[in-house]
Amino acid sequence: MTEQSISLERLEETINVFGSFDENIRIIEGEMEVSVVSRDSMLKVSGENAENVMYAVKAIEALMSLSSRGEAINEQNVRYIIQLVRSGNESQISQLAGDVLCVTAKGRPIKAKTLGQKKYVEAIKKNVVTLGIGPAGTGKTYLAVAAAGAAFRAQEVNRINPTLGAETYNKYLERGNIEVAPLAYMRGRTLDDSFIILDEAQNTSREQMKMFLTRLGFGSKIVITGDITQIDLPADKVSGLREAMRVLKGVEDISICRLTESDVVRHVLVQRIIKAYEEDEERRGPKKDRRERP
C-alpha cells in the first residue's frame, strides 16, 4: 500500500474540487483505483499501485490550481485532467485557465475547455482563415460563433452570423448586421468587414469550397468547420473540406486545427463512442475511398 498527502490550504477551493457529494473525487478514485480521505487539513491518497497514487495526487493538485484561478470544476475537466496527467502532459494544465472569449446573454462565460480548443481559439484570433476539423462535441461551431460575437462586440467586424440571444439577434437581423445564407447564395458576392462561418463543410464540393473562400473581403475573417468522418457526398465526389486541408496547408494567414476525441466536452460517453468507432475503423483496415484524403 502506497500513501501520499496533499495539504489543503483554502476551504472554498477544496469544496470546489470535491464537487457535490464528492462526485469529482469519486471519479478520481474510480479511474485511479485509489482511496482519497480528508483528515484535518490534509488529503490522504492511498492505493496498491504507486503510479496510480502519484497520478491521483498530480490530478488533485492540478484541479486545486485551476480552482484557485476561478475555474469551475466539473466531470468534464476532471476527466480531461486525468487524461493529461496519464499522458505526461500535466505541465500544460496551467494553460487551461484561459481568457473568457465572450459572455452569453445569460451571463455565462465562454472559454476554451481543452488544450485543443485553446489552440483553435488562438488560431481564429491570429489568422484570417481557420479550418476547425474534428468530431461532434469538440466545440468547433460553438467556439467559432462565440469568437464571432466577441469580434462584433469589439467592433472588429460589422457583420456576423447568428450568435446572440433571440431578442438581440432579431434586433441585429433587422438592422442587417446578421445574415444567414445558403452557400449557393454566396456566388458573386464579396464580404468586407465580416465574420463568416461555413458549417458542416465536409459536404461541400471542391467547386463550392473554392467559391466560398474567394468571397473573402477586406477586414473579414473566415472560420470553416467540419467532421471529415461524416462526409455524405457520393463516393465519386471529392470533399471540398478535405481538398482545402491539403491545398491550403502552409499558406500564410490560414490555420488548420484538428480537434480529437480528447477535446469533446459533451457527455463522457460521446468520447467513448467516437473512440470505439475509430478503433473499429482501424481493425477493419484501409478501405477504398475515392474521395481524396489530405
The full set of domains in the chain, from first to last, is: 2-96 (3.30.1370.10), 102-284 (3.40.50.300)
Tens of pLDDT, residue by residue over 7-22, are 887 777 788 888 888 8
Model pLDDT for residues 170-185, shown as the tens digit of each residue: 665 676 666 676 676 6
Residue 168 confidence (pLDDT) above 70: no
Residue found by looking up cell 434586433 in the block = 171
According to the model, what pLDDT value does residue 164 have? Answer: 47
For the chain, strand residue ranges (E) read: 2-7, 35-39, 42-47, 102-103, 109-110, 129-133, 195-198, 221-226, 254-258
pLDDT band at 58 (very low <50, low <70, confident <90, very high): very high
Q: Is the pLDDT at 290 greater than 60, yes or no?
A: no
pTM of the complete model: 0.77
Residues 234-271 have pLDDT tens digits of 888 899 999 999 999 999 999 999 998 888 877 777 77
User: What secondary structure letter does DSSP report for 218?
Assistant: T
